[in-house]
Structure formats: structure tokens, C-alpha cells
Structure 1
Amino acid sequence: MKTENFDAIVIGGGPIGLASAYHLGKRKAKTLVLEQFTFVNQLGSSAGVSRQFRIPYPDEYMVQMALDSEPYWVELEKESETKLIDKVGTLWFGDPTVQSTEGNIAEAEEALKALNVPYTSLTAKEIEEKYHFKNIPENYTGLFQADGGSINFKATNEALLNLCKKEETVSLEENAPVIAIDQSGELFEVTTPNGKYISKKLVIIPGPYINSVINLLHFKIDATYWNMSSAYFKKNDPNIQYPTWFVFQNNIGENGNQFYGFPSVDWDHPEYIRVAPDFVINPLDEPSERKLIPNAQELGYTSDWVKDHMTGLDPTPEYTSTCLISLSTIPNKELLIDFAPSYVPNHKNIVLYATGWAAKFTPFLGKIMSDLALDGKTNFDITPFQLGHQFFKSTK
């Protein structure tokens, strides 16, 4: 069995793990990425091909994070020579009193104002006239922010993988689940079925499989797991186009009644529009419970929404898929970026990203994670995300 030494080992080869390795490689750190499946797989939180990029958030620090991430997307597009974001704008609309996992429309407007981000306020009638929706209740309000877009997430994943392959100091290993982590002084020994690897630093980013790794270090995270559904709806009108959008509504029984959608794009079923529910009826206790077939009830509620409130689409769901994500148990499902808890030996050399919706921050998070690993700090304010003290629990 081979043994090799590295400056940093990244556990998890999804987009954020690859982005971290890319930034580590740019600083010439000898880096290994260990992926338990194959790269660009459909088994974790990077499943599917598209994600939303947006600036609106109900908290100023999240708006700032979105703004800070923009130059890293520009850099990644330039380095990979690939267009990764179709800028079509972000539309938020719905009941202005609703508090959802995405926040609240009025609070988002205040946060945008505070940071001088331009946007347009909308009435229900304007939402129908400008953006092809119909039967919108009169009390609904909205905002449109022009910098939002649709991320070609599969291309993002592939671009980062290719850039890592070009970095002389980055090694990539797939089909390499981590089965043991041992420590000797300040060094970590990471074991996979393929060999043992020695490293000074650990960067742990295995998406929804976070506990399978950190359990090896004798702690766990309080999380819930959503196996999220998605579908595409064929355009009856070939000229119809939508921005990226999210609708805020109160749930009706098991129907979470919150939905989001995308424009048609030339890189993904261009004759279709993707629409998905932003809720799950049955959260999972463990990632192993996930299924690759979407929940039929969730798709049914989505189909009803499309039929009742969108124009130019056939309400029959096609090209369905699922995406597995781990979420913290606090109401707004916060991101968690932190060092391992202090009771773990050598904890300041173990940095983790766990829980939350973060695809829109992918290249920026790679920069943050590499800074934390190599320098023990980052110039960006991550204090709102350093939540390990709330969610990490010892298993000893």
C-alpha cells in the first residue's frame, strides 16, 4: 500500500472541494483531492446541471458574500475559457409577509438598499405583465435584481476539475472513500482503499456525506438531509423566457408551496424550462436513505403551480432528477464554515464546509477554504458562518 505526503488533503471532490484544490494549487501547495465516487457525479449536492446565482438575501452579510463572489466567477470563466453564468436577472415575488428558507422579500429589499445594490420593486400586475406569470394574488409584491443568473453547474464542475488537472501540485483520486484518519503529532494519516496519505492540513468538504468523514475524528454535526426534486417543463411558446425566480408563499398542508425556476438555456434542454419545489415532504435522517427518483407528490405540487401560474409551458414534468443536500437545523438553514472543535487534536489544521445552499459561491468558497487551510484565517468576514460551537457534537 502506497504512502505519500501532502501539504493539504481535500476530502470531497465536488465543486467546492475542487475550487479549494484549485486555489491551493495556485499557491503551489502540494494538494490531494479524495473523492469517494467519481468526479462530476450525480450522487451529492452538485447533482443536476444548473443553479441560481443571485444577490438578494434578507441579511446584509449574505448580500455582501454574493457581491464578493462575483469577481471569482469572472476569474473562473476567464481561466477556464468557459461561460458559466447566463445573466438573466433574479425575480423574487410572493406574499410579502412570508418568511421562507430563502428569507423575506421586504428584508431582502432593506439589505439591498443598505449595500446600494440596484433593484426594482414590483406589483402583482407588473409581475404578470413583465415576466409571464398569471393569476398572481393582488397582495403579492416582488423585486427584480438584474445581476442574477443561471449557473451552468455541470460546466463549473468540469472547469474546476480541468483546472486542477493542469496544476502541477494538485493530485486527484476518485473512487477513494476515506475509511480512517489517524494522527501522529501534527500530521494526519488518511486511509482509503487505495493507500495511506500524510498531510499537515485537512480540508473537509464532502457535501451531504460530512458525518461519514468527521465521525472518524470523533465528532458529528446536527443536520437534516433534503433529497430535493426537480423537473423540466416543455415550452408551448418557443419565444417564452423567464428570469431565475423564487416565489414566497405559505405552505398548504404537505405542500410547502415554495417554488423556484430557471430560464431556458442552450446548454440544457433549450426547449424546456426548469422548475423545482424548494421544500421536501419527508426529510431524511441519513444520506444513505436518498433515492434517485423524485418524490411524486412534490412534483405534482410543482406541476400544479406551473399549470396555474406560468404561461407558455406544458405542465407535464419531464427530465426529472434529485439533489441531496445537508442542511443545518436552524430555521434559515445557514452555511457552516469553521475549524474542527477544540476537543479534536490539531483542530486548527482541520477546516470544514458543511451544510447550506452554496453553489452560487463555489469559486469564492474555494478561496476562503484555501486561505483558512494555509493561513489559519481569511480576509473575508466569515463570523456569521463559524457555527461549529452550535452544531458540532463529540461522539466520544
Structure 2
Amino acid sequence: MNKDYDVIVIGGGAIGLATAQHLGKRKAKTLVLEQFTFVNQLGSSAGVSRQFRIPYPDEYMVQMALDAEPYWDELQKQTDATLMDKVGTLWFGDPEVHSTEGNIKEAEEALKALNVPYTSLTAKEIEEKYHFKNLPETYTGLFQPDGASINFKATIETLLELCQKDENITLEDNSPVFKITPIGDLFEITTTNGTYITEKIAIVPGPYINSVINLLDFKIEATYWNMSSAYFKKTDPSIQYPTWFVFQNSIGENGNQFYGFPSVDWDHPEYIRVAPDFVIEAIEEPNDRTLIPNSQELAYTSEWIKEHMTGLSTEPEYTSTCLIALSKIPNKELLIDFAPSYVPNYKNVVLYATGWAAKFTPFLGKIMADLALDGHTDFDISPFQLGGKFFKRF
């Protein structure tokens, strides 16, 4: 049986398109299958802006952010649109709090270990320099100048255009995969639009990961967050914020952790985006998501703004949601691995699953392409390569 493609990429969001773009650069005949339309708002690519940041509590994550920077620079050369607005990253709050983002003190240690410049801040300095107010005196912070707001819509559109121009890449949207059949050394992939034969598979469908890998008889234990987000009008037109995250203990159902962005030309420029970094209740399955944010989560966000931010109205005017799958593995966001060994041709099946990875988009595409074509990558993925221990038979 002859193969139709060298690699089929399942998932046409940011990471899927970045993977395809790197495969195309290496002249691999590639098909991208997207279950919805390209540049949709139904997965983890939803929304317009994302944060790029280097602070992490683990050195290997700091290193990954550093390694991603030249790939962003390379992608920027391919478009006239500004992909990043470098305004810096501000982390502040209770230095004892650990969250899904990490911990301030541990992040400082990781930055020091890798000689990444940053500035330590007191609560008073945070208020004086960055427009916050009424912070507890015990709060501390750090500012890292390389943080940025990512124009994520432009990033996806740039990757899509590059893939469209590459003669090695075929793009198909509205093509959900509903069957994967190993045939000798190859795979037969069946979609609503046809059947294709490939040697290798790269699986990157964002929060819909289990709907694909279940077809290969394994799954990932994950929880699903339908995250809320809102835009608040500037009452002081001159005010500007960096990208930021506040670490605080929860108060009942109020997770009490929030993050925000600067105003940017590409995304409601007279507004500041602020969002809760928690959900009151996780959803059971990705298809349970809604495009309407949780009103109570937004109410807690408004309370935070009223009490601790300056120059903004306290009622949101625009809202959105974003769906994310988070691994249930303690302290592990990203999973990058091959399929488990009981899957036929498992070394020809690579996947990225769970966690916040927008900030790594072009670099993660490079990693996935190299894993698919070479079976290895020069980047150390051992911290993310956890499938043998945590993938479960479906």
C-alpha cells in the first residue's frame, strides 16, 4: 500500500499549523486535518491575545521560554503584523502561594540559575510603578522585561498563510477524524471527507486530545476549564499595564488569582483585558464548553479591579471564553511524547497535550516536526515525556 502523506497533523490550531509549517520546510508531504474551520474560537486558540513570559518555577520551563524566543523572531520576519508587544512580565502577590502558574520565590530562583535579568519589587514599588493599589504590605513581586503580549490571532493567520503557500502542505478543515487504523507500517485515517494513508501522525488537537487518542485505545487524565475573560474600558486613556499575574489564596469559590494584559492596537485598544486564572467549576468534556463566560467569575474579576487597579472601569464591556485541558499530573502542564508502546507503530505517533503552550507556538511546532520525522529532538523533552507512566488504556 502506498502512502498519501509522510505526516498527517491532526489539529489545525496554532500548534498544529506551526508543526505543519516546520514539516513543510523539511519537504515532508503533510496533511493538516482540522475538525472545525481554521482560525476558529472553539479550542485553546480562542481569543486574540496571549502572554509570553519567561518566569517559571522550574528551570526547564524557563529554558523552554528562552529557546522559543529565536523561533518567534524567525516567524516575525514572515509577516508585517506585529506578533508581540514587549511590555514585560509582572508577577506579584503572596510569595507563599503556589498556583497553576507557579510560585514567585521559586521563579526568582529559576531565573537566577539561568542568569535571566529581573527586578525584585516590594508592594509599595508595585503600586508606584505599575498602577495597582491597596496591596497588602507582605506582597512581593518580580518584573522581567522580556515579557510580551502576543497577537495570537495574527500568529495563527501568519502560520496559516505560510502553510497555504507551501506546496508540501495540504489543509483540510471541517474534517474531524473518527477512525485511525494501523495497516502494517502505515496508518489509515478516516474523516468525514475521506480516507488517507500516512506513515506518521502528529496529534495536536488542543483540548480535544482524548477524542483523537481514544481511537488508538489510550487516553490522558485531564480536567477541562472553560476560562472566562473580559475587557474593561480605560477611564485614564494614558494608563498602560505590563502583562501581569497576581498570586493570592482563594476565598471560598473565588479562586482569587487574576492576570491581565496591556492595551494593544490589535485588540480593543481603548480597553484592558483582565481575566480570572481559575474556574468555579470544571467541565466534564470539551463539548460541554460555552462561549458565554461564567458571570460569577467575571464578578470576582470586577471586584479585584475595583479594589486593586487604577484607570479602569469596573464593568466589562466585551467578554470571551477559552477552553483548556489541564493534566491531572501534579506540577506538569505540558505533555510531549510518543504514543504508548502497545499502540502499533507507536514511535510514528507523536502528540502534544494539555497545558498553556501559546507562548511556545513556533518552537513547539519545530519540536513536534522533528519528533515526527526523526524520532528525536535536540531539545530536552524528558520533563514532558510522561506518557509511559500516565497514559491509560481506553
Q: Same fold (TM over 0.5)?
A: yes
Query: Which one-letter code corresponds to 2:282 in the other structure?
Result: P
Contact kept? 1:4, 1:196, Cα under 8 Å: no
SS at match of 1:37: coil
Match status 1:383 vs 2:382: yes
**Aligned residue number for residue 124 of structure 1:** 123
Partners in 1 of 2:115 and 2:150 — Cα distance?
A: 24
Match status 1:172 vs 2:171: yes
**Aligned residue number for residue 10 of structure 1:** 9
Contact kept? 1:101, 1:333, Cα under 8 Å: no
Match status 1:337 vs 2:336: yes
SS at match of 1:17: helix
**Aligned residue number for residue 240 of structure 2:** 241
Partners in 1 of 2:278 and 2:29 — Cα distance?
A: 40
Match status 1:189 vs 2:188: yes
**Aligned residue number for residue 77 of structure 1:** 76
Partners in 2 of 1:250 and 1:370 — Cα distance?
A: 40
SS at match of 2:262: coil
Partners in 2 of 1:319 and 1:48 — Cα distance?
A: 12
> How large is the RMSD of aligned CA atoms in angstroms?
0.9
Deviation at 1:392, TM superposition (A): 0.9
Partners in 1 of 2:307 and 2:162 — Cα distance?
A: 44
Deviation at 1:80, TM superposition (A): 2.6
Deviation at 1:153, TM superposition (A): 0.3
Deviation at 1:389, TM superposition (A): 2.3
Query: Which one-letter code corresponds to 2:103 in the other structure?
Result: N
SS at match of 1:383: coil
> More deviation in 331-340 or 176-185?
331-340
Contact kept? 2:338, 2:350, Cα under 8 Å: yes
**Could you report, residue by residue, the CA deviation over 1:279-329 in whole angstroms, capped at 9, with x for unpaired residues?**
011111111111110011110100100110000000001210100011101
Partners in 2 of 1:388 and 1:158 — Cα distance?
A: 31
Contact kept? 1:92, 1:247, Cα under 8 Å: yes
> More deviation in 186-195 or 364-373?
186-195
**Could you report, residue by residue, the CA deviation over 1:45-72 in whole angstroms, capped at 9, with x for unpaired residues?**
0100000000000000000000000000
Partners in 1 of 2:115 and 2:242 — Cα distance?
A: 22
**Aligned residue number for residue 53 of structure 1:** 52
Equivalence map 1:309-328=2 (5 Å) = 309-328=308-327
**Aligned residue number for residue 372 of structure 1:** 371
Query: Which one-letter code corresponds to 1:372 in the other structure?
Result: L
Partners in 2 of 1:61 and 1:39 — Cα distance?
A: 32
Contact kept? 1:14, 1:46, Cα under 8 Å: yes
SS at match of 1:288: helix
**Aligned residue number for residue 108 of structure 1:** 107
Contact kept? 1:333, 1:355, Cα under 8 Å: no
SS at match of 2:383: helix
Partners in 2 of 1:79 and 1:29 — Cα distance?
A: 20
SS at match of 1:191: strand
> More deviation in 313-322 or 9-18?
313-322
Deviation at 1:193, TM superposition (A): 1.2
**Structure 1: any 5+ residue segments left out of the alignment?**
none
> More deviation in 197-206 or 74-83?
74-83
SS at match of 1:79: coil
Structure 1 stretches of 4+ with a deviation exceeding 3 A read none
Equivalence map 1:131-170=2 (5 Å) = 131-170=130-169
Query: Which one-letter code corresponds to 1:126 in the other structure?
Result: E
Query: Which one-letter code corresponds to 2:171 in the other structure?
Result: L
For normalisation by structure 2, the TM-score amounts to: 0.99
Contact kept? 1:14, 1:40, Cα under 8 Å: yes
SS at match of 1:103: coil
Query: Which one-letter code corresponds to 1:88 in the other structure?
Result: V
Tell me how many residue pairs correspond in the alignment: 393
**Could you report, residue by residue, the CA deviation over 1:204-242 in whole angstroms, capped at 9, with x for unpaired residues?**
000011111111111111101000000000000000000
Deviation at 1:83, TM superposition (A): 1.5
Percent identity (aligned): 80
Deviation at 1:387, TM superposition (A): 1.2
Partners in 1 of 2:220 and 2:201 — Cα distance?
A: 17
Contact kept? 1:101, 1:331, Cα under 8 Å: no
**Could you report, residue by residue, the CA deviation over 1:312-367 in whole angstroms, capped at 9, with x for unpaired residues?**
00000121010001110123342000000001010000000000110000000000
**Aligned residue number for residue 68 of structure 1:** 67
**Aligned residue number for residue 229 of structure 2:** 230
Deviation at 1:81, TM superposition (A): 3.4
Contact kept? 1:87, 1:148, Cα under 8 Å: yes
Deviation at 1:4, TM superposition (A): 6.9
SS at match of 2:307: helix
